[in-house]
Structure 1
Amino acid sequence: MLQARRRCTDIIEGMPMRRLLTVSVAALALLHGATALGHDGEVSAERLEADVTLLADDALGGREAGTEGYNLAAGYVGGEFAAIGLDPAIGNHYFQTMPFRFFQADDPSKLSMTIIGRDGAQTLVPGDEIMIGTEAAVASASIEAPLVFVGSGFADDGLGWDDFSGVDVAGKIAVVLRNPPKIMGDQEYGYYRNTQAERLAARGAVGMIVLVTPTYEKGIKFEMLKSDFEPAVNMAWLRADGTPFAEVPDSFIRAFASEELGRRLMEGQPVSWEEAAAAEADGKKRLPAFELGFGARLTAGNRLWQQNSYNVVGVLPGSDPALANEIVVVTAHLDGVGTHVTEKEGDDEIVNAAMDNATGVAAITEIARLLAPTPPRRTLVFAALTAEEKGLWGADYLARNPVMAGTHKVVANINVDMPLSSWEFTDLVVYGVERTTMEPVIRQSVASAGLVIVPDPQPEESYFTRSDHYRFVQQGIPSVYVNPGFGNGGDKAYKDFIGKHYHQPSDEVGNVDFRQLARFTDVYRDIVVGVANMDEAPLWRKGDFFAKFYGGKMED
């Protein structure tokens, strides 16, 4: 097994400090590898703990995509896949290489907003009143255009709602509320909320200014938005021609206006800031669209650099010749957020990301160990993904560039992300289960474990569109995302973790109850096996919103 880890680390193409990483992986494997051996047919809490402990070690620096610490983690997981006996998915190795362009708004002098045509020109810099950033990986962008208010930027003839009635946003900067109207299902709501910039750009808008309201700040305070812009490192994968992938034009700029600035922008308009905020809170009152009568100039700039990152992908061939060319992809993101730099010397700045998502990677690795001797009917592809924390980019790349594409077809994705494992859970949330023909099999697997599937306890958070499985949904593939539910004290445990440890240096191994992670892994394995053994390939339910939108195959 140690030699397999060395080989896997050696062949990561272009990895900096290759020799050091090889030695590091070998040393860590010596320390932790003993409990990772063997196939006893039962989920092992000890093996899970060994894997989580290694992946959440300070030596990996928080596993941020594009860092040596992430590469070290990828080398370790690739070594585990080799030791298990999974087939390499990428030629003779396990690493799907993604060239990324990284971008960071590290110079505040490159960011500004100037209000034009209203009492002269007034220039604002990011900080107290405005936060500005590009959506694409470009060195600089600048736009100057009239401002137009278009409510939440939502239109659907079937629902009788049109925020664009009477105006044209083409060539203009849209002033918007962040949240769609509450007139649709929760998961559809999440789709429309997460695609606001893309949908405005598709109508020709050159940028957007979001009015930060009390409703918006229930999710994230304006002060916290700063971490989404200036110091944060963002990334986009590069196409074959070397251009960065983006879902909006390179010049598109998004800005967030504080309450104070929002009030000034909306002063004297047909709709006041107070009326706009009240309508967003209500969720069912449509506001008129209108030109504000003045414009703005937005500028943004980034530091750019290019570096590879890697999905770690292993294959367990199916046992049924009639179904083995169909793939069920089992995913968990490997990356973390890296570090939180503080001013106080001696602070722990490494976000070791034990729960988010070393636990998920350990779970899929354990499932691969247990299934390797007796594979299910369909082929399983196990993928530890990069860049989830940067925008689901590793999953996006794999979904658009599936392995074995010439001979096999992906028919389903089963994802796990941050399976909270600190209490004795009694139920599961399976996001998207009701949307596909996987539902009966998954419900049976969960019931056999003495558990129940419960509805999403936080529909307002739109989790169905916020984890890696959603990138497979966007390719028309039936996909679900599995997590423990809120029963038996889970609501309190979840609130405690999110409030104290989520994306914080305190996300440490000590928060994980490995007996509970083993219970979760056991039922998660049964779900994977159940789907992989279905007589017919999974389909979307007839008339499903996401199937229709993304061209997924539906049941008759």
Structure 2
Amino acid sequence: MKKLLIIALLLGAFVGCVNSPIDQVADTITEKSLMKPITKLSSDEFQGRATGTVGELKTVDYLVSQLKEYGLQGGAEDGGFIQDVPLVGQKTGQDTQVQIRKNGNAVHQFDYYSDFVAWPSNLEEEVSINDAELVYVGYGIQAPEENWDDFKDMDVEGKILVVKNNDPSDDPDLFGGDTRLYYGRYDYKYEKARELGAAGVLIVHTTPSAGYGWDVVANSWSRERFYLRDNETMEGSPTKFNGWLTKEAGTNLFESAGLNLEDQLEEAEDRDFEPVPLEGLSLSLDLKAEYSQKDARNVLGVIEGTNERLKDEYVVFTAHHDHLGVTSPVEGDSINNGALDNAAGVSAVLNMARAYKEIQPQLKRSMLFLFVGAEEVGLLGSQYWAENPTVHPGKVTANINLDGMNVYGKTKDIVLIGYGRNSVSDMIEKVAEERGREVKPDPHPDRGYFYRSDHFSLAKKGIPAIFPNRGTEFIDKPEGYSVMVDSLQDANYHNVNDEINTHWDLSGMKADVRLFFDAAYRIANTDEMQTWRKGNEFKQTRLDMIEDASSN
């Protein structure tokens, strides 16, 4: 009898350990509970959730109603759930062409959308460029720490810069090798042109260097663009326009100057590269733009922590709620439903908010659930929150950003964008190992994903941030399944085909969300705040923010 009693007690202890409160509430995150918000938000009723539209208003109303239903508090400064994001919208007329002359004679006319896209870079209503000189500046990078300067003291004031996309990747010891840094982002190239007084910029697009095809560029930049209102860096800029040029148009442009585009793209890989004037060529362009003031909206919900010392520190979850809205019809369908991008990420965060609320007494730190708007138009919702935070960045221990999820089945692995950069990555890796799963770094570091979603806005304020992606080693799926999923995602990205389809299998999403739920629970309850690795580009900002928060 004593032996039986001991065995029973041991079994009871084991079951109690396995079915801990955190595990029990995690079990309420199911395929069904995850699919429900995705189905709702990606329905035609929400009209693609574009910034500043009725679809966005419906999205915000839905999110607020869910957070209230779960019992969360509002996270905005006024105690409500909504933070207005003041924007100015810019619509550029598309009935224009780029005129290229050689020694005064017309040699090329490039058409808007099919050959190039461009827009006023300084919020002007009309921009006129007449016979401006062109100069190819390679990657257009100045990086003293790499002893790299593509401009070599050339005066580019008033000239049009033709720029190679991405950043150097031939040398593994330079610019992170294949890993795309901020130097490789279009933002940097436009900022550098403004700094040096160039009249305009055209980035030569290639699919390998961008990580996506021309249709993504054309669709993204030809629609209404948005900027944070009262952005002083835009107004009064010496740069008149920013834009992109197709590889085909770029090839023709360089041939007219007696140059081979491919050769010039290769030359840019060398530190000794010097700017190449496109001799005899000039560019003319007239642009007109209309402007309107619109507000995007961030939705914020809070669960307050219970530890007196730690409850003013936060774990922040982010997911963008916007998508592309209504665009030109494709086979009769004009609504970009955004099921994967990013109704899926929103659903994951909603499910975790509901589950954490159920175990609020066990949370030492507070939780902020930040559903940001205007991501698809330049990460503007997250940028606005980072510049107007409802929680001091020095009081945020970590950010987990969910933008797209694994909707195609269970995987043995999981990918982290930002793997190894900070201790948030370490915690997720620890929980994954306990579950028999492997954490891997970004398989496409050349695409610069770390700088392409909302966690980047928070990272720039020093907050240790991570951006999980789906794994690639699918379980119980046929051979070649991962390749098929890659092709399917590429085909559906940023177009009307991003809808729930027959390939969806949320067993993988369920496993991933439960993993993040556990990892963030531990981050909320550990004594120390999360940190960046030594030498990381955001580490010093982190230290500065913590010091500033402690002094206020």
TM-score band by shorter chain is 0.7 to 0.9
1:306 aligns with 2:293: yes
TM-aligned CA distance change 1:118 to 1:551, over 3 Å: farther
TM-aligned CA distance change 1:322 to 1:70, over 3 Å: same
Cα distance in 2, alignment partners of residues 477 and 162 from structure 1: 30
Residues 328-348 of structure 1 show CA distances to partners (whole Å, capped at 9, x for unaligned) of 21011111111232275xx22
Q: Which runs of 5+ in 1 are unaligned?
A: 1-37
Residue 75 (structure 1) aligns with: 61
Tell me how far 1:63 sits from its aligned partner: 1.0
Match of 2:438 among 452, 459, 483: 452
The aligned length equals 506
* Matched residue SS, 1:318: coil
Residue 209 (structure 1) aligns with: 202
Match of 2:496 among 499, 502, 505: 505
Tell me how far 1:285 sits from its aligned partner: 6.9
Task: Report the more deviating stretch, 292-301 or 480-489.
Answer: 292-301
Tell me how far 1:326 sits from its aligned partner: 1.4
Cα distance in 2, alignment partners of residues 332 and 462 from structure 1: 19
Tell me how far 1:284 sits from its aligned partner: 4.8
Residues 99-119 of structure 1 show CA distances to partners (whole Å, capped at 9, x for unaligned) of 2211122x334x443446723
TM-score of the pair, normalised by structure 1: 0.83
1:234 aligns with 2:219: no
Q: Which amino acid aligns with 2:490?
A: G
Residues 263-316 of structure 1 show CA distances to partners (whole Å, capped at 9, x for unaligned) of 454347585424113446xx4575321333454333322222222221110111
Mapped contact 1:174–1:208 kept (Cα < 8 A): yes
Mapped contact 2:133–2:283 kept (Cα < 8 A): yes
1:55 aligns with 2:41: yes
| Superposition CA RMSD, Å | 3.0
Residue 120 (structure 2) aligns with: 134
Q: Which amino acid aligns with 1:446?
A: A
Q: Which amino acid aligns with 1:203?
A: L
Residues 225-281 of structure 1 show CA distances to partners (whole Å, capped at 9, x for unaligned) of 432343x12111214xxx57749937531233344543454347585424113446x
Q: Which runs of 5+ in 2 are unaligned?
A: 1-23, 475-479, 548-552
Q: Which amino acid aligns with 2:305?
A: G
Residue 5 (structure 1) aligns with: none
TM-aligned CA distance change 1:362 to 1:372, over 3 Å: same
TM-aligned CA distance change 1:247 to 1:401, over 3 Å: farther
TM-aligned CA distance change 1:518 to 1:114, over 3 Å: same
Mapped contact 1:546–1:552 kept (Cα < 8 A): no
Residue 521 (structure 2) aligns with: 529
Q: Which amino acid aligns with 2:244?
A: F
Cα distance in 1, alignment partners of residues 58 and 207 from structure 2: 42
1:249 aligns with 2:237: yes
Percent identical residues: 27
Cα distance in 2, alignment partners of residues 509 and 343 from structure 1: 17
TM-aligned CA distance change 1:404 to 1:177, over 3 Å: closer
Task: Report the more deviating stretch, 149-158 or 352-361.
Answer: 149-158
* Matched residue SS, 1:428: strand
Q: Which amino acid aligns with 1:373?
A: E
Match of 2:181 among 172, 179, 190: 190
Q: Which amino acid aligns with 2:341?
A: D
* Matched residue SS, 1:341: strand
Cα distance in 1, alignment partners of residues 318 and 233 from structure 2: 22
Q: Which amino acid aligns with 1:399?
A: A
Cα distance in 2, alignment partners of residues 262 and 188 from structure 1: 25
1:160 aligns with 2:147: yes
Mapped contact 1:310–1:386 kept (Cα < 8 A): yes
Cα distance in 2, alignment partners of residues 71 and 554 from structure 1: 35
Cα distance in 2, alignment partners of residues 100 and 323 from structure 1: 35
Residue 113 (structure 1) aligns with: 98
TM-aligned CA distance change 1:260 to 1:513, over 3 Å: closer
Cα distance in 2, alignment partners of residues 378 and 528 from structure 1: 10
Cα distance in 1, alignment partners of residues 517 and 235 from structure 2: 35
Select the structure of larger CA radius of gyration.
Answer: 2
Matches within 5 A, 1:248-327: 249=237, 251-259=239-247, 261-267=249-255, 272-279=260-267, 283-284=269-270, 286-293=272-279, 294-327=281-314
Mapped contact 1:475–1:552 kept (Cα < 8 A): no
Cα distance in 1, alignment partners of residues 496 and 100 from structure 2: 40
Residues 147-189 of structure 1 show CA distances to partners (whole Å, capped at 9, x for unaligned) of 2221111232332322111412233221221122113216862
1:366 aligns with 2:354: no
